[in-house]
Amino acid sequence: MHTTESAAARYADIETWSTAQLVSGMIDSQREGLDAVAAAATALARAVDAIADRLGSTGRLIYLGAGTSGRIGAQDGAELPPTFNWPYERAIALMAGGPGALLRAVENAEDSLTAAAESLDALGINPADAVIGIAASGNTPYVTAGLEHARNKGALTVGIINNPGGTVGKAAEIEVLLATGAEFLAGSTRMKAGTAQKVALNVISTGVMIRLGYVYRGLMVEMRPTNAKLRERSVRMVMELTGADEATVRATLAQAGGVIKLATVMLLLKLDRTGGEAALERAGGNLRKALA
């Protein structure tokens, strides 16, 4: 079986290929990464449900990785607050070598058997938390040790790997195997293994947010309108959800402090801001429940 470290015969002479052949070959390889994610759909669904059940109102989603895998995890976590208004303190990325390793490689950091546990203890890891460990090789010591420690502390653990049979999958309660096989450049897991990891994390985090009620009618109703583009998007969203005209929506959003779901409740239930906030509070912040 080919692994991410394998040198595939079909790529043995790529330096002699034309540029058009190189581009086509790399694109075809990326498609294999998507196929690997599709094959892991059952495990991904299990991870989504387990994480959503675990997080509740206080749990944190913690990403654990080294190198490319760690950077992909950090990117996924960084998108949750602006997209879903998920609290920054509940989306945490732990990177082998520390935050500086996000931009510059730190040699040997991934081999530490103690650093991840120390970082998790500093966070006060507990049973309300969910930890996603990402490792293309499936054997990264930093990730394996971190998952083992988190699991011993009662946290939910998910291991995302690209090679079967490694220690990371065994350390996690839920293993997600993205069997991407040999890379276009042998061992360069920033390529299709990284693509597969990115897609898998998109699926997990977005699925969790939907299960937790952060999406309504396919719209990002928790989105933070922090710039002009997003403010215009929020106007279009509220218009679509309520059927109100643009002027009314803009005025209501202003009264609601730019909060999309609050403006929607105010318009559909004909409430002022105080009444709308009370309706959302009774529904635990869930727009669908508040409108029901």
Q: Which domains does the chain have, with CATH numbers?
A: 9-211 (3.40.50.10490), 228-291 (1.10.8.1080)
Give the pLDDT band (50/70/90) at residue 79. very high
Q: Is the pLDDT of residue 3 over 90?
A: no
pLDDT digits (tens, 9 = 90+) for 172-183: 999 999 999 888
Residues 6+ apart with CB under 8 A from 6: 181, 182, 183, 186
Catalytic residue among 5, 15, 89, 110: 110
Distance CA 105, CA 69 (A): 12
Active site residue 110: yes
pLDDT at 182: 86
C-alpha 12: how far from chain center = 34
Q: Is the pLDDT of residue 169 over 70?
A: yes
Q: Is the pLDDT of residue 4 over 80?
A: no
Distance CA 236, CA 71 (A): 33
pLDDT at 172: 98
pTM: 0.91
Q: Is the pLDDT of residue 1 over 70?
A: no
pLDDT digits (tens, 9 = 90+) for 208-243: 999 999 999 999 999 989 899 999 999 999 999 999
Active site residue 79: yes
Give the pLDDT band (50/70/90) at residue 251. very high
Catalytic residue among 79, 173, 240, 277: 79
Distance CA 29, CA 260 (A): 40
Distance CA 140, CA 160 (A): 11
